[in-house]
């Protein structure tokens, strides 16, 4: 991580807002900002855990990002905003695409417009590598074509475009970070689809590890949540307004290699059971992070140390993953469709 330069605007922030600060990544970011001595407001539809609210200088502002008035009120008094709130599940986006678009695209537009009206000095938006779609080149630079194949990718890209248009026309000081596959303590096994946490949870329970796809062709770039938070802080400190940065480790890991690393971290062999009937996401999703490293960022965790840390956090018999990957779904009608559009606070808080 880079040192904060003297006179840096982010270092001088009177209060920093984290939308989605009650979620997995958001709660880690709130702690990281607090550790730096920042005053933080958690902007979310659901309240953060008591241990976060008990931190000196951290307060909570309830807001649904789909409601512009809510967002405007919640962001008042803040001069730096980290926008993480939204739906982070590709499965949810397939099952409920309208909800996904309202939360991710409309919600992000609301945050951007409120930031313009309030004169926010820096907005960092956490987007996703899923906006690239199926990789055409590996590793992927920020100039890789954006052709998302999931509604989630389309909604995140729509949010990017809304913010960049506000930058170009109204001078919104926004920086966009495209996150690759995040892992670390605090993921909800009922919602998180990342392979690291899932593999460890199956392994720690002494069970075979199920995999959808090809164990060698399916590769990913995994970044520890603490490193992701430091990368976002680096963007606020040193990133260029209007620019996009890949947020990953830059290291390619196949599912076979991940299983081997899980075995090493837990001290016993891992049995990987691959179902190759679906190969839709058996591609190489790996970041070129040269641009991020150019800002002086260096990750703290490699995969081995991140796995050991997470295994110790999860304990001997953690809750098993229950989220499933859905790439296509038969449309539903009538009462079933209405039920599918019901919204809970937990779904709006994704990151």
- Strands in 16-19's sheet, in edge-to-edge order, are 58-62, 40-44, 16-19, 80-83, 122-128, 174-179, 244-247
Of these residues, 152, 183, 245, 301, which one is catalytic?
A: 152
Give CA–CA dist 337/295, Å, rounded.
Answer: 47
Cis peptide preceding 139, ω within 30 of 0: yes
- Do 75 and 112 contact (CB within 8 A), yes or no? no
- Do 252 and 139 contact (CB within 8 A), yes or no? yes
Is residue 152 annotated as a catalytic residue, yes or no?
yes
Q: How far apart are the first and last CA of the chain?
A: 22
- Do 291 and 159 contact (CB within 8 A), yes or no? no
Q: Which of 305, 272, 257, 276 is nearest to 203 (CA)?
A: 272
Q: Phi and psi (nearest 5°) for 182?
A: -95, 145
User: HSE (CB half, 13 Å, CA atoms) of 66?
Assistant: 15
Catalytically active residues are 152
């Amino acid at each position: 991580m880079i040192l904060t330069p003297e006179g840096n605007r982010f270092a001088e922030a009177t209060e920093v807002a984290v939308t989605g600060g009650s979620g997995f990544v958001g709660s880690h970011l709130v702690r990281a900002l607090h550790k730096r001595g920042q005053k933080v407001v958690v902007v979310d539809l659901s309240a953060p855990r008591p241990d976060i609210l008990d931190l000196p200088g951290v307060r909570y502002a309830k807001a649904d990002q789909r409601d512009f008035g809510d967002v405007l009120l919640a962001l008042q008094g803040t001069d730096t905003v980290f926008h993480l709130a939204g739906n982070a599940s590709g499965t949810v986006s397939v099952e409920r695409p309208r909800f996904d678009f309202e939360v991710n695209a409309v919600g992000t537009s609301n945050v951007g417009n409120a930031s313009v009206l309030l004169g926010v000095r820096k907005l960092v938006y956490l987007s996703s590598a899923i906006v690239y779609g199926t990789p055409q080149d590996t590793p992927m630079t920020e100039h890789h074509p954006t052709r998302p194949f999931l509604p989630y990718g389309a909604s995140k890209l729509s949010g990017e475009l809304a913010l960049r248009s506000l930058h170009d026309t109204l001078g919104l000081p926004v920086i966009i970070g495209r996150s690759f596959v995040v892992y670390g303590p605090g993921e909800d096994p009922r919602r998180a689809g990342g392979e690291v946490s899932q593999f460890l949870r199956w392994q720690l329970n002494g069970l075979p590890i199920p995999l959808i796809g090809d164990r060698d062709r399916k590769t990913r770039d995994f970044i520890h949540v603490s490193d992701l938070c430091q990368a976002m802080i680096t963007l606020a400190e040193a990133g260029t307004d209007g620019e996009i940065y890949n947020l990953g480790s830059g290291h390619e890991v196949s599912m076979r290699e991940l299983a081997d690393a899980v075995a090493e971290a837990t001290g016993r062999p891992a049995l990987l059971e691959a179902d190759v009937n679906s190969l839709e996401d058996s591609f190489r999703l790996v970041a070129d992070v040269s641009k991020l490293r150019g800002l002086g960022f260096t990750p703290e965790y490699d995969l081995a140390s991140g796995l050991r840390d997470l295994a110790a956090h999860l304990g001997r018999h953690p809750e098993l993953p229950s989220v499933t990957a859905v790439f296509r779904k038969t449309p539903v009608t009538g009462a079933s469709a209405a039920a599918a559009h019901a919204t809970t606070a937990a779904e709006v808080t994704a990151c």
